[in-house]
Structure 1
Amino acid sequence: MPAGLWITFEGGDGSGKTTQAALLEDWLRDQGRTVVRTREPGGTDVGNLVRDIVLHHRGDVAPRAEALLYAADRAHHVATLVRPALARGEVVIQDRYLDSSVAYQGAGRVLDAGEIRELSLWATEGALPDVTVLLDLDPASARRRLDAADKPFDRLEAEKAEFHERVRAAFLGLAAAEPDRFLVLDASLPVEHLAAAVRARVALALG
């Protein structure tokens, strides 16, 4: 049985994570790999309930409560979906993981980033992806993309520019601290250019 591989996509809202994840899934399936596509929050039934609270709840959610909700979803998601898929030798492609919590709840909500990371590592028994693709895009460009999509903003998308600047800086800091895990790409480049770079990195990880 081939070894499983866990790939996460990170970046600000509007950076193109969903597009690149779909293109990578198609390519891997063409290579004969079994692929599990998932996301956080929302990769499980429990995750969908959490997603509705943290992204679509009309009232305020206290920052620490928000962080704990994400961690609870993450614990369930890794235990019930990610680890079993990897044990079967499958490739997991995931939209967001703990790096998003460090960036959004840590930097964005101005909580302690180290505590946020440790909370997620405790929740998942230390689980980290094999490859994390960071699609880096300045918040102004990301906002133009979101505006063009013509759909309602969720709670995080609706935050002010300063919030998203902190989030972007946090993502870049995380990538600099773990260069072996992260592939940082300029999300303003053409879609196929980005897809080729992702495929090359994943092919290397697959050996």
Structure 2
Amino acid sequence: MIEFDNLTFIYDNKPLMQHFTCCIARGEKAVLYGPSGHGKSTLLASVPGFVRPDEGTIRIDGRTLDASTVQQVRRRIAWLPQEFTLPYDTVKELIEAPFRLRINQAQMPSRETVLHHFELLGLEPELYDKRSIEISGGQRQRIMILITALLHKEIVLLDEPTSALDPDSIARVVDYIHGWHEATVLMVSHDDRFINAFDRKIYIGD
């Protein structure tokens, strides 16, 4: 599904990652872990083509990721970066925003669907009508993971999305992600509770 073939990334004239080769199978739930500063987030960002390797090749379903294929690949990906803003006044507006894009309009979730996912993630139904500035960091992270799930993309990329969560919420998120049976998930995490729960663990470091 996702093939990294002999990738090298160089930052400030120094190699950040060298000769990395790995294959993530379709439907696999894989986590990248290891010490900071070794290129985990950079590797994740290379899948949708936000970062290009200095050497090596990335293939999605056997097709090389390049200028001619990157837009098609991005349509198949849900990407949740480590840092994000909430530019919408209410949680409802935040959830609906990605589905107002032409490519996602047919998937606009109903209130009932959203509240079902709230229950799975341990979120109170009252949050749906709250202002975005009134929710906590942990609630925000779970809502963003929920939006990622509702997009129903083939490939899901998650960069440290659980830093503000308590143990019970992490357990719920693990079960939630494992419920995405058809999605191929690649996640960056430093949390042992998350790392130990994933199907595939890929160490990135010295």
For the criterion TM > 0.5, the same-fold answer is no
- Choose between structure 1 and 2: higher helix proportion: 1
- Choose between structure 1 and 2: higher strand proportion: 2
* TM-score, structure 2 as length reference: 0.34
Which of these two proteins has the greater Rg computed from alpha carbons? 2
